[in-house]
Chain A
Amino acid sequence: MNMTGIIFSNIYDAYMGDLTKHRTLASLPFGGRYRLIDFVLSNMSNSGINNVGIITKYNYQSLIDHLGSCEEWDMSRKNSKVFILPPFGTGQTSVYQGKLEALYGALQFLRRTKEDYIMMSDCNVICNIDYELVMKEHIKSGAQLTVVANREDPQFEGELRDFVITADDDGIVTDLAIRHTFTRENLCGMGMFIIEKSLLLHAVEEAVSHGLYHFERDFVQKEFLTGHLSVNVYEFKRSVLRNRDIPSYFRNNCLILQEEVRKDIFDPQNPIYTKVRDEVPAFYDRDAEVDDCVIADGCRIEGKVSDSVIFRNVTIEKGATVDHCVVMQGTVIRAGANIRYTILDKDVEITEGRTLVGSDLAPVIIQKGNKI
């Protein structure tokens, strides 16, 4: 396809607290065996985007380790490649504040690409989308920029979205707002944009020389409101999981337990790829009791688990109770422990008989490698 992919791996790191202390948002584990970047990168690979740049800022060791040569995404080929673009990658760059500055660091990469269009995406939004369809709509619309968006009901009074679009009955965009309330009448941007490369290059250079860095605010909104940019909106109608903060991340993991959501996200025609770890299949002991859970390879389940997402290589010993939890790779929950509404990061050990109870809006978080 005539499109290069750009993935921002760190833009929303600050929203995820301790979970992104030692990793990029892109490498945050999700859904039993994935990391957030798997979804957007698989979408790009499945859509026929052969050239992807991943912009990083810091903490990118875990990301590089996860991606390896990208062969699992089928992007380690002569004509299909992933480039990791760290800060200081070229002479004139530094740690950036926003996407425009980040793109400034990627100018050399962008200039070198043969494709005429750029698909920019964050990695905090999970969905299974065909970018080829978005591209077709973009060309048909004749607009300079297409934003991918969906309709949602607010979870609570006064909830905000980063990019709220108002369009008339014909789908013509009439207003763009940054960090604004919304209703089902609005469309909420999913952090995915298609733009012509030459226009983006120009915008990046202009913005940086004027000290501007916020792509949505300083470029899209400003140029649109002054009539210099035509914006088309592509409405995406299947499941969208936005990870905006810890409660939403926690809720989204639990949403994976719903059949319709799993059907939408794990489309067998367009699989979500991830790093292969060669774990053995999961083993369920005689005393295992599992109710509505997602359970990955390598697990050993001897206790009681309900409404939880259990990642690879987790052990839940006899008599332990795990309810409404996200348990990441390699964690061990010893006999008799009672864990509810908790996020256990990688390689945590919960010792015998321990009790941890959080709530759906404020889950307890146990950091990577801790022993409780």
Chain B
Amino acid sequence: MSANLFCFSRLPFRTKAKIRLWLGVGIAMVGLCVALLSFRLGEWPEPSFMTGFYVGTGGGLLGSGIVTAVRMGIYLRDAERARKAELEEMDERNRFIQMRSAQAAIWVLVGAVYLAIVVTSLSPALFLATVTLIWVLIGALILLLASYCICRYLY
């Protein structure tokens, strides 16, 4: 995740690698904190589910943060690998494919949430889930629109 941050920036690759290394360390620490939060879930009605959520996402963040930090450390020490990574990142065709893929993925996600709303609304017992998903979809669409406007302004 943080390995692709600033990929459109004109900063030197070495600077980007340093920023991403520290971001990786930060994300790993956040992941560790989130995983440790699972020990404070006694008051939740479904502690086992939330424990799994916190441990799973915290572990994922921890792992991805460590991998990012290690990769960036390797790039800072090995100029040849850094050059290859920079080429992969700055290659115009790769960027074009990434942008098109991200665009398609966003619309697939929005469609999937809408489908989930339609499915959960068929059962009265899932009313709360339906309302939650509707608010999630509305929030996601607002964020999508805001991100789009900000990116249009920046780029």
A binds B: no
Q: Which residues of B contact A (CB under 8 A)?
A: none
Q: Which residues of A contact B (CB under 8 A)?
A: none
